[in-house]
Amino acid sequence: MKEQIRISLNDPKQLEKLYRENKASFRREFSALYPEVKGTALADFWNERLHYQTEELTWGTSRELVFVIVAALVAGFIAKIPALFSIHEAYFYPRNIGFIIFPALTAYFAWKNKLSAGTGALLVGATLAGLLFINWLPATQKSDTLLLSCVHLLLFLWSILGVSFVGRPQNSLDRRLGYLRYNGDLLVMTTLIVLAGGIMTGVTIGLFSLIGFQIEEFYFQNVVVFGLPAAPILGTYLTQTNPQLVGKVSPVIARIFSPLVLIMLVIYLAAMVYSGKDPYNDREFLLIFNALLVGVMAIIFFSVAETSTSGKGRAEVWVLFFLSAVTVLVNGLALSAILFRITEWGITPNRAAVLGGNLLMLLNLLWVTSQLYRVLLKKSDLTQVGKPIAVFLPLYVVWTIIVTFLFPLLFGFR
């Protein structure tokens, strides 16, 4: 793409054609090429076009606003189903909490991307399959497979949202990384909205208490229950219509936390050796160890996804490389502990689920680490680092489907 852009720098029609064929790739490659061609009229024009950011807040079209309001109301209604229909909350929320948010966001991107009727039907069918299956599972007090299905169902719905976000299969690798960036931006925006909502809640309850009204119960049952599901929907709308709001914040957060997490991880491993704790004989420690691994993986993936749109200095690439390498070590320890426990005490649903997930993460991390090493040797481009993550995302989806839908059947609902 970069060479095609270089060749077409004096051909406005061809540049426009290249841009329309692959907008994400064009933006990335043009940004990398621009320092070499800076000063020419057409190159300067395209640079301004691709990187122009308005300071004003855009509220989109009236149809988009109506969609967001309706989606927020529907999400709030789903959240209130236990109260409206006298359904036990302990039964409803673990199984159905994902259906409060994900279908609304999936519908939003399906509408924005103008997905075909066939793709839309596939997304609806997959969502309904998850809804019917999770509520069909027997309500037993202690069921590892039920818990695994509930947890992995959230990842399954997140995957459906990803398909809706990516849209058409063309340039899907770039769009998959864009989906990871969207999740990072959404996390930042939703956190800000929730914090603002929390301050407003405190002020509102405090003001009413001053005049003798105790509205806590009413407020939480009728305002907060609608406000919490609305936060990620509104956050999605704002990030998509105003990318400049958090477009510069998310990369900064990634750059700050990557070295901090690396330092924490190294210190933690040293402290683990000193304390004598190990994940081989302590089940709770192994669970915490895996939770730590998933968190660090998420930070690595988000940081690597940022490299496809923003350049990183050599020091930052070194930080990412060492963080990935240390995480490979952590993953290897966790994987060996799981295999040890399976050998000693046999296979269980939890051990099988963690084994498959850890194996996928290890292979993915090894590929990411090798790509970062190639970048440090100047044998590869930074834009290639995101490829291992984009390629592996469908494999994670397949494993999620297996754990969600097949594990309860394979292990007899135990």
Measured in whole angstroms, how far is the alpha carbon of residue 294 from the centre of its chain? Answer: 12
Among 146, 120, 121, which Cα is nearest to 135's? 146
Beta carbons within 10 angstroms of residue 54's beta carbon:
8
Residues 279 and 208 in one domain: no
Residue 298 forms part of a structural domain:
yes
Residues 234, 336: one domain?
no
**Which residues 6+ apart lie within 8 Å of 237 measured at CB?**
60, 64, 68, 108
Residue 32 within any structural domain of the chain: yes
Q: Taking a C-beta distance cutoff of 8 angstroms, is the pair 67, 108 a contact?
A: yes
Distances (CA, A) of 363 to 177, 257, 368, 369, 383: 18, 24, 9, 10, 20
Residues 32 and 170 grouped into a single domain: no
Same domain, 378 and 338: yes
DSSP string, 311-349: ---HHHHHHHHHHHHHHHHHHHHHHHHHHHHHHHH---H
Give the integer Cα–Cα distance in Å for 394 and 170: 15
Q: How many CB atoms within 10 Å of residue 259?
A: 16
Do 37 and 86 have their domain in common? no
383 burial (CB, 10 Å; 0-12 / 13-18 / 19+) is buried
Q: Is residue 332 part of a domain?
A: yes
The maximal CA–CA distance of the chain, rounded, in angstroms, is: 74
Q: Is residue 346 part of a domain?
A: yes
Do both 233 and 269 map to the same domain?
no
Decide if 56 is inside a domain.
no
Per-residue pLDDT of the chain (414 residues), as tens digits, is 677 888 888 888 888 888 877 665 677 678 777 877 787 788 888 887 776 665 566 677 788 889 999 999 999 999 999 989 988 998 999 999 999 999 999 999 999 888 889 999 999 999 999 999 999 998 876 788 999 999 999 999 999 999 999 886 655 777 888 888 888 889 889 999 999 999 999 999 999 999 999 999 899 988 999 999 999 999 999 888 877 777 667 677 777 888 888 898 889 888 888 887 778 877 777 788 788 888 888 888 877 776 555 555 678 888 888 989 998 998 898 899 899 989 988 999 989 999 999 999 999 999 999 998 988 887 777 777 888 888 999 999 999 999 999 999 998 887
Residues 340 and 392 in one domain: yes
Instruction: Report if residue 347 sits inside a domain.
Output: yes
Regarding whether 359 and 253 lie in a shared domain, the answer is yes
Question: In this structure, are 234 and 259 located in the same domain?
Answer: no
Domain that holds residue 74: 62-241
* Domain match, 85 and 224 both: yes
Asked if the structure places residue 57 within a domain, the reply is no
Do 100 and 46 reside in the same domain of the chain?
A: no
H/E stretch holding 299: helix 283-306
Q: Residue 112: CB partners within 8 Å, gap ≥ 6?
A: 240
User: Per the structure, how many domains does the chain have?
Assistant: 3
| Residue at a domain's end among 241, 265, 289 | 241
- Inside any domain, residue 325: yes
Same domain, 337 and 288: yes
> Cβ atoms within 10 A of the Cβ of 242, count?
18
